[in-house]
Amino acid sequence: MFESVEIGHQTPKEEFEKLEPQLRADLLDAQFDLREQAPFSVVILINGVDGAGKGETVNLLNEWMDPRHIETQAFDSPTSEEAERPYMWRFWRALPPKGKIGVMFGNWYTDPIQERVEKLTKKAELDQHLDDIVRFESMLVREGVLLLKLWFHLPKAGQKTRLEALEKDPRTRWRVTELDWHYYKLYDRFREVAEHVLRRTSTGEAPWQLVDGSDPRYRALFVARALLDALRRRLDAASHHWEPRQTAPALPPVLDGQNLLNTLVLDQPLSKKDYNIQLEELQGRLAMLVRDKAFAARSLVLVFEGHDAAGKGGAIRRVTAALDARRYRIVPIAAPTDEELAKPYLWRFWRQLPRRGRVLIFDRSWYGRVLVERVEGYCSPADWMRAYAEINDFEDEIIAAGGIVVKFWLAISADIQLERFKEREAEPHKRFKITEEDWRNRDKWGEYERAVCDMIDRTSTENAAWTLVEANNKYYARIKVLQTLCDRIEAALKK
């Protein structure tokens, strides 16, 4: 795999000086078009052998282009902020918006490779990690990100020469550390692992490009040209209309009109008196659970979805009443901001993920992708069809990092909804709660119902099952939410 970057490519000084001005001008132009049209974002991964010129190349790109629109990110050991969240969190945070270029120096490949080189992980673990990466990158590409993966290579002898040269020069001596020589000794092992990683993660959508790091001039021209070509091709493609092929078969029809929602018995009895007794008891239990020592190492992510006027807000208030206000946060999800629209759709949820010991409550959530966006046609069928798997992967990552994910669908009947809408319109202090949109959504009751059922079928997983809450009676609904929540946390803390 490294054969052709071990040839020892070279560019003479005169040739470099002849090509440089035009290349810089072209790169600046392309960057300008990217910024102005902002049809996509660019992510450049910088990986490879130490001493192969990774840093110099990134510096050069910043010098040749407008550095205000390049976000260079270096990832060292995770900060405590980062360590308390899922592995991919810090990379999600660093994704550039449309119109910008993000250079990631040390990235999601760094740890898996390093850990395998040092034999801290087994081959099967590495492969599982790589498969997660392939799924993640595939999602990025489908979200329109232009992903450029550069691997800087030096043959073993070249690495030695280079480290020695750096050490000899008093101005660069500081750059060579003991760790560099430690890695040099691991060269063969590193090469072997790297070859495996490159091979498993070079997909048709996001292949690796190998960079011969031995000659600074050649290397610089190579990377600049690779970036320029990729930018130009995508800018051209973006100006064409493109319709994704809908290869997935249609979701199955419901034949007898029976589905998960309309077979629920929505009217469940519970008197106000019994409610008050149980409420106090359950809130007490919940308060104890989130103050348990074991909870300090976990986090809790709650998702509330449901029909309009199903009582999400009321249920959430009964939950938060038992929590410490410094340790929970409610995130109401409405239309995305401009900043959020410029990133892959899951970005705005990733950015919110809590640290250990905290509770995060989503009032509506990422499920908007397969509910409102599907029903209203805000995204294509191919987009929401792939979202089920992407959402499952997202929740898996939260859970793998110790999170507890509990999801509620609050269901009411169309009659009860109508009653509540009218009530709200009548009461001045509740009028803000009811909008034109609510009435419009009501007209699409059947379509939403279908989308909800598909959602539950496809995302009620072993780790993060949905709980359907019969909510015609608010008292009953709130108690069921609290009861489920306590049971789920208790079960999770026992593990």
Tracing tokens 């034949």 back to the chain, one arrives at 255
Phi and psi dihedrals of 298, rounded to 5?
-115, 180
Nearest distance, CB of residue 280 and a second copy, angstroms: 31
Q: Which residues in 328-387 contact a second copy (CB under 8 A)?
A: 382, 385-387
- CA-CA distance, 89 to 83, in Å (whole number)? 9
Identify which of residues 231 and 359 has a Cβ nearer to a second copy in the complex.
231
Extract the tokens encoding 340.
């959020």
Q: Which of residues 185-214 bind a second copy (CB under 8 A)?
A: 192, 195-196, 199, 202-207, 209-211
DSSP lists the bridge partners of residue 406 as 302
- What are the C-alpha distances in Å from 292 to residues 277, 289, 319, 357, 369? 23, 5, 17, 10, 35
User: Does residue number 127 form part of the binding site for a second copy (CB under 8 A)?
Assistant: yes
90 or 369: CB nearest a second copy: 369
Which CB, 46 or 319, lies closer to a second copy? 46
Stretch that binds a second copy, among 68-76, 156-164, 220-228, 329-337 (CB under 8 A): 220-228
231 to 250: interface string for a second copy, x by CB under 8 A: --xx--x----xxxxxxxxx
Evaluate whether 86 touches 401 at the Cβ level (below 8 Å): yes
Contacts of residue 147, defined as CB under 8 A and 6 or more positions apart, other chains included, come to 43, 45, 137, 140, 141, 205, 206
Place of tokens 């009461």: 427
**Which parts of 354-439 are beta strand (E)?**
359-363, 403-411
- β-strands 403-411, 466-470 pairing: parallel
Q: How far is the CB of 87 from a second copy (least distance, A)?
A: 17
- Is 484 one of the binding residues for a second copy (CB under 8 A)? no
At 414, list the tokens.
Answer: 């169309």
Asked if 226 touches a second copy (CB under 8 A), the answer is: yes
Q: Per CB under 8 A, which of residues 443..462 are in contact with a second copy?
A: 453, 456-458, 460-462
Nearer to a second copy, 88 or 227 (CB): 227
The stretch among 143-151, 270-278, 314-322, 435-443 that binds a second copy (CB under 8 A) is 143-151
Q: Which of 24, 98, 225, 285 binds a second copy (CB under 8 A)?
A: 225
Position 33 contacts a second copy (CB under 8 A): no
Q: Strand runs (DSSP E) across 326-475, as ranges?
A: 328-332, 359-363, 403-411, 466-470
Task: Report the site for a second copy in 10-29 (rule: CB under 8 A).
Answer: 10-11
Q: Find the binding residues for a second copy in span 255-294 (CB under 8 A).
A: 255-256, 258-260, 263
